[in-house]
Amino acid sequence: MALAYPRALLKVSGEALAGEKGVGVDFKVVEALADQIKTVHAMGVQLSLVVGGGNIIRGTAASRDGLDRVNADYMGMLATVINALAMQDVLEKLGVHTRVMTAIRMESLAEPYIRRRALRHMEKGRLVIFAGGTGNPYFSTDTAAVLRALEVEAEVILKGTNVDGIFTADPRKEPSARLIPELTFQEALVKGYEVMDRSAFGLCQTNQLPIVVFNMNSVGNLDRVLRGEPVGTIVQ
């Protein structure tokens, strides 16, 4: 079956790696995630990953607790590197060739991000994990995901979450909430649906980069999204 998106970027939040624990890394969860990634990688998708760090530290929350915001943001960026190394380790054990590239140089453990080198890795069938966010404080890993997706010319940005997509209301609070299969950028903005933070969303809208929000916990979903099946919510 043909692929709908031969080149895609998957954003995995830090929380998604923490599983039920909510904090830290749950390796069972990482393994399950890596398994799904391995399947689509084997299908020939040029997939790259951006990992968040919210399971370890979030700049905004830490600065509310009294830390300097810029320092806290750098701590958050370092947290994404920890998560990226965890993902790399598990993926490599499953036989997926990976490279971690960081926005902040730390050559003893990962390559610095160089766009052309990232493209080369992808052409060679390596899965690139982008870590360190954008390398700048006051940004999020959602913004980093969009930025890297645009740079490597991914056709879509996949936002793996633990809900099925975008709903008319919070499905955990409102039983009548309905899943919205498709939205335009404008509709998402007008109706105030939180797809990504504002700068990340704006960057997608300006550059017409579609976003698919879907449940990463349902095995096979990633595969289905990449084949173009209607899974979750597509914002385009």
**Residues lying near ligand UDP in the complex (CB under 6 A):** 13-15, 52-54, 58-60, 72-73, 76-77, 79-80, 133-134, 136-137, 139-144
97 versus 105: smaller Cβ distance to ligand UDP? 105
> Measured from the CB atom, is 26 or 73 closer to ligand UDP?
73
8 Å CB contact between 99 and 125: no
* Nearest distance, CB of residue 208 and ligand UDP, angstroms: 22
Q: Distance between CA atoms of 186 and 205, rounded to whole angstroms?
A: 8
Closer to ligand UDP by CB, 6 or 137: give it.
137
How many CB atoms are closer than 10 A to CB 39? 16
- If the CB atoms of residues 80 and 98 are measured against ligand UDP, the closer one turns out to be 80
We find the least distance from the C-beta atom of residue 150 to ligand UDP, in angstroms, to be: 14
233 is written with which tokens? 């919510």
Distance of alpha carbon 11 from alpha carbon 161, whole angstroms = 9
At its nearest, how many Å lie between ligand UDP and the CB of residue 142? Answer: 6
Q: Least separation, in Å, of the C-beta of 229 and ligand UDP?
A: 25
- Residue 1 DSSP one-character state: -
Exposed, middle or buried: residue 130 (CB in 10 Å: 0-12, 13-18, 19+)? Answer: buried
Residue with tokens 């958050």: 76
Q: Among all residues, whose Cβ is closest to ligand UDP?
A: 52
Q: Which is nearer to ligand UDP, 112 or 228 (CB)?
A: 112
* Alpha carbons 77 and 71: distance in angstroms, whole number: 10
Closest approach of ligand UDP to the CB of residue 160, in Å: 10
